[in-house]
Structure 1
């Protein structure tokens, strides 16, 4: 028979059969308290839904889904970072710093096409369309099955066109073919030697170029007695150059 520290008689020698206290040793240690739960992480820049200071996208995690802004570190926002938020979002690797950032779409697009457009726009160009009697005589001298029936019109009004956009189509309107050229030479008076889609004026670095579109009677640059320019090949134009086509049409290009 044993006596526990609390004075109970117990037939068991290790623990009291009455209260369970340890017999013959130090009092048992109190059961360990359960581990306290780790305190929840306090967002550094407000609760979920807080707008990103760069782009305004509601917060759903540490990083902004649009521009990669770190809500935990809350770096200061500059005018440059605000402007960059309008560019396409970087990849998650770039946002976290684990990989190189891909070039922005705006940077990728800044190639020859942008330079061409800016070059042509830096000095506005214009084309003057008129009837040229000297060129008409050259056409008649060159002959052809229809040369004998050609007649120079008594009056053709001079017209001016500003060169803008990606291309200027020169030709003759045709409803049946759906052709509506920017410079329409259908008349009156109509130049019969002009194809429906005869030529193009296209912008290039620093100016414009002319392209013959496989016209029936060809396109000539400055000298109508020379060979026509090659079809489908852009030929650069200078200020004051004259493009001849059809039976009497001359187009003079110049800067304004």
Structure 2
């Protein structure tokens, strides 16, 4: 149907006049296009304000973090160093020697506590450090070498292992040593091939008189 425009151009059709471009009489103005509805970045529901009416998520916070994949544990962030490496302090301990005699260890009757010994310190600066006695014939070179005089006869060539943890601490593992490894005041040696966590000040007892005290950095 032909409708005149405001200038009475009767041949005009559609919403606007083909002659002068004016709007036709009675023509309805086209509704402005509606903006697409905003979606909640968390649940995807339509929302009008800042907070989602479905899940309550605050859109001002941006997209939520993606969930961790199933079955994949989150890796803890590495812990900053507290001022330096741990230290292992090696001593000849008479109290441990007396305990070994009381327990009637191998050759207990022939053991003698050394008349003189020097305290030694080892820096724990690797992922794992062996405790034992050096043996060139067997190619054994432990990082914590207890073969210096006075040599403890109860220490195996490969006695135990110190293993660093992700949190910066250390575990001790007995390597099926002949006389076992004792931690602190435990009455029995720790089970072989099993990591046992150590804390600052813990004492590892090996051989006939040797103790190894772990000291954490300040």
Cα pair distance change 1:120/1:166, threshold 3 Å: farther
Q: Deviation per CA, 1:145-168: give whole Å up to 9, x if none.
A: 400000000111101111111111
2:145 counterpart residue number = 184
The answer on 1:211 being equivalent to 2:173 is yes
Please, which of 174, 182, 185 is the counterpart of residue 135 of structure 2?
A: 174
1:221 counterpart residue number = 183
Q: How many residues align?
A: 142
Q: Give the distance between the partners of 1:156 and 1:169, measured in 2 at CA.
A: 22
More helix by share: 1
The answer on 1:197 being equivalent to 2:158 is yes
The answer on 1:162 being equivalent to 2:132 is no
Larger radius of gyration: 1
| Stretches (4+) displaced over 6 A | none
Cα pair distance change 1:202/1:152, threshold 3 Å: same
The answer on 1:244 being equivalent to 2:194 is no
Q: Give the distance between the partners of 2:106 and 2:86, measured in 1 at CA.
A: 37
1:136 counterpart residue number = 97
1:1-256 aligned at under 5 Å gives the runs 118-119=78-79, 121-122=81-82, 124-206=85-167, 207-223=169-185, 226-256=187-217
Q: Give the distance between the partners of 2:136 and 2:150, measured in 1 at CA.
A: 18
Q: Give the distance between the partners of 1:167 and 1:254, measured in 2 at CA.
A: 16
Q: Give the unaligned 5+ runs of structure 1.
A: 1-110
Q: What TM-score comes out, normalization by structure 1 length?
A: 0.52
Q: Give the distance between the partners of 1:229 and 1:120, measured in 2 at CA.
A: 30
Q: What TM-score comes out, normalization by structure 2 length?
A: 0.61
- Secondary structure of residue in 1 paired with 2:178: coil
Question: What is the Cα deviation at residue 229 of structure 1?
Answer: 0.6
Q: Give the distance between the partners of 1:120 and 1:203, measured in 2 at CA.
A: 14
Q: Give the distance between the partners of 2:86 and 2:106, measured in 1 at CA.
A: 37
Cα pair distance change 1:145/1:236, threshold 3 Å: closer
Question: What is the Cα deviation at residue 202 of structure 1?
Answer: 0.8
Question: What is the Cα deviation at residue 171 of structure 1?
Answer: 0.1
Q: Deviation per CA, 1:74-127: give whole Å up to 9, x if none.
A: xxxxxxxxxxxxxxxxxxxxxxxxxxxxxxxxxxxxx85x85xx4484563111
More displaced 10-residue stretch of structure 1: 176-185 or 141-150: 141-150
- Secondary structure of residue in 1 paired with 2:102: helix
Cα pair distance change 1:217/1:238, threshold 3 Å: same
If asked which structure has higher relative contact order (CA below 8 Å, sep 6+), I would say 2
